[in-house]
Amino acid sequence: MANRLNQSMNPDGSLKTVAIDDANHSIEAHADTDTYVRMLKAESDKLTLVSDEATDLTLEIQNDMTFVNFSSGEVSFQDSDTVTWIVTSPNIVTANMAFPTSAAHNHYYGLSPVHEDLMDPDYRNYKVNAPATPYVDGSLRVYVNGVRINEDADVYVPGPLVDDPWMLLSYTADETNGRFVLSTAITEDDNIIIDFDIALV
């Protein structure tokens, strides 16, 4: 006993540094407890990759021109008529795209519109066809004498003959009622052609 104490202690009772260095200080020689546990180097290396005070996943999604931020809680991805979500074990999420039935429509090209008043046409008010069928919003395209006009601004359109003066022209669409109105009346000699889409559903 005295011999062991002499090898590990100085005369003043303090521990010898050499004796401490010679002792088995490998963490592998210790046992886990309820409060402290051993950690492998690979586990310790993973901790260095975690940001300080990281507590949750942040998800930011652009919605039109704004950004929506999800900083906590649960985010739910739900199916729509165009997107179906598929989760494959263990952590793969894929999106299936589908053509929505609501987008099904017929295209009509190069048709002559029908005067609103067949007995006394004013060459401004038109129906896209005789029954004035409602058409898809934004699908109407109007051409006068080969030039496409629009709703946003007037467009210069040539007259029906080479020497005829040009005129500024636009139109206002009425999709719900299957009609449209020109900003200025044209003449019976002007050539007006339309394209439009009619929904199937």
Query: Can you give the residue ranges of every domain in the chain?
Result: 2-47, 59-97, 105-199
54 CB burial (10 A radius; 0-12, 13-18, 19+): exposed
140 CB burial (10 A radius; 0-12, 13-18, 19+): buried
Helices (H) and strands (E) counted in the chain, each on its own, are 3, 14
Residue 46 sits at the vertex; the CA angle it makes with 28 and 33, to the nearest 5 degrees, is 35
Type of residue numbered 194: I
Percent of the chain at pLDDT above 90?
Answer: 45
Residue 110 gets the label, from left (phi > 0), alpha (psi -120 to 50) or beta, of left
pTM over 0.85: no
197-200: Cβ within 8 A, 24+ apart:
197/105, 197/106, 197/107, 197/108, 197/135, 197/136, 197/139, 198/105, 198/106, 198/108, 198/133, 198/134, 198/135, 198/136, 199/102, 199/104, 199/105, 199/134, 199/136, 200/104, 200/105, 200/106
What is the reported pLDDT for 113?
98
In the block, residue with structure tokens 């006068």: 144
Q: What is the mean pLDDT of the chain?
A: 87
Kindly report, residue by residue over 136-150, the tens digit of the pLDDT: 999 999 999 999 999
User: To which H or E segment does residue 160 belong?
Assistant: none
CA-CA-CA-CA torsion sign (177, 183, 188, 193): negative
Residues 105 and 197 sit within 8 Å (Cβ to Cβ): yes
Kindly report, residue by residue over 147-193, the tens digit of the pLDDT: 999 998 999 999 999 899 999 999 999 999 999 999 999 999 999 99
What is the reported pLDDT for 103?
78
User: What residues does 196 pair with on adjacent strands?
Assistant: 108
Higher-pLDDT residue of 94, 52? 94
Kindly report, residue by residue over 73-95, the tens digit of the pLDDT: 788 888 887 888 888 988 888 98
